Amino acid sequence: MKESIHEERKTEDMTAKERFESAKEIYASYGVDVEAAIEKCMEAPVALHCWQGDDVTGFDHDGPLTGGIQTTGNYPGKAKTPEELMQDMDKALSLMPGKKKLNLHACYAIFEPGEFVDRDRIEPKHFAKWVAFAKERNMGIDFNPTFFSHDKVKDGLTLSSPDEGTRKFWIDHGKACIRISQYFAEETGVPCVMNIWTGDGYKDIPADRMGPRMRYKEAIEEILSEPFDRDKVKPCVESKVFGIGVEAYTVGSAEFTLSFAATHEGCLPLMDNGHYHPTEVVSDKIPALLCFYPEIALHITRPIRWDSDHVVLFDDETKEMAKEIVRCDGLDRVYMALDYFDASINRVSAWAMGFRSWQKALLTAMCTPNEALKKLQDENRMTELMVEQEAVKTLPFGDVWNEYCQRCGVPSDREFYAEVKKYEDEVQLKRNA
């Protein structure tokens, strides 16, 4: 017992650098090159969603959220202007290690004083300030047409509406977003992932399931007929199992979006891990899709019983998704983006926590002896595989993570909240004064 206590105190007296060097040696005994993992993780881009900072409000409407989306909570300090949102995002970025992209929704267009155009007529110039923001921070930009929270959503439908005028408005919106995505890619030099998602569906059992999907298919095809450079713009279709007010039927189901992407060249499937039945896991779907698609896209959230968009944590499924991307050699084939919104806690902290959690998951996956574990499986040494998989779980990853944060110039886990609280007191709370 005395020797055990002595060893614990000795460990406590070690510096962070010494602990990291010790951790490196332990990982090396498993065949893991920690230095290579750190360098690799630093270069894996992850898109940060702008809509966490203002509860998915945007700047082109004053009405409530619609389309199956709901944000809960009323934590003080919400950003209400483009300047405040960018200021908050800057603070969050300073707390995040790794390489970032910016992910925008079309409703975040920035108009000049006295100017307004509807979503079917937005232009690249309405996002010029976002481009300047991204270029100054060496970030690419991803984009999302906004098919919700608008009075042209008729009877809960957009691209699948039986009303031709409604469909045309939203098709024109999608085409405008294609042009804006091309602009983003040309300005930043980074491909733009443009994701098409709608909340179209019905609250109760429909009489016609195929009709809305045929209209949806034809509408997306018309959007994608807009000319664009396929090396610069990566259009995606995102599925969903249900939403608030559309519990019985959603037009863009998993089967629909996967089939559409498979049959339309250059269109990617996008999986949001909150958009499936509770017993389904996206970690298992990632390697399945990578068998067939050259590229896929991923929206990372934390569902609790349903698509509740909780802040991403370093939990089991988050780790499994990252593990599958890494061990399938998919970092260059999977476009990764965060997607959640929590208005019940500090929004800068929510941004930072979610991004840091995904970075932890990626780095953990890169510090896993994947090839050695695969070999055990292929040789049917399943008992040994189980033993090794369990042993890997208790490797000293925390010391590697702290070193990673230090090299990226961001605070450690125990330090970053102090930065959030200081910013809240000095900036965010004064907005409500």
Cβ burial of 408 (10 Å; 0-12, 13-18, 19+) is middle
Separation of alpha carbons 301 and 315, rounded Å: 11
End-to-end CA distance of the chain: 57
3-state secondary structure of 401: helix
Specify the residue for token string 């405008």: 176
**pLDDT in single tens digits along all 433 residues of the chain:** 445 444 544 555 689 999 999 999 999 999 999 999 999 999 999 999 999 999 899 998 776 667 667 788 889 999 999 999 999 999 999 999 999 999 999 999 999 999 999 999 999 999 999 999 999 999 999 999 999 989 999 999 999 999 999 999 999 999 999 999 999 999 999 999 999 999 999 999 999 999 999 999 999 999 999 999 999 999 999 999 988 889 999 999 999 999 999 999 999 999 999 999 989 999 999 999 999 999 999 999 999 988 888 999 999 999 999 999 999 999 999 999 999 999 999 999 999 999 999 999 999 999 999 999 999 999 999 999 999 999 999 999 999 999 999 999 999 999 999 999 999 999 999 997 6
Residue 2 CA: distances (Å) to CA of 86, 141, 336 = 54, 57, 48
* Predicted TM-score of the model (pTM): 0.94
Contact 278, 305 (CB under 8 A): yes
- For residue 119, give both structure tokens: 């979503």
3-state secondary structure of 72: coil
Q: Can you state the angle between helices 397-408 and 347-366, rounded to 10 degrees?
A: 120
One-letter amino acid at 397 equals: F
Contact 58, 149 (CB under 8 A): yes
Domains, in order of start, for the chain:
44-366 (3.20.20.150)
Residue 158: CA atoms inside 13 Å, Cβ hemisphere, count?
28
Separation of alpha carbons 260 and 419, rounded Å: 45
Residue 114 CA: distances (Å) to CA of 69, 81, 424, 428 = 29, 15, 31, 27
Separation of alpha carbons 243 and 253, rounded Å: 11
Contact 146, 195 (CB under 8 A): no
DSSP at 107 = G
Question: Active-site residues: which are they?
Answer: 197, 238, 240, 272, 275, 299, 307, 309, 339
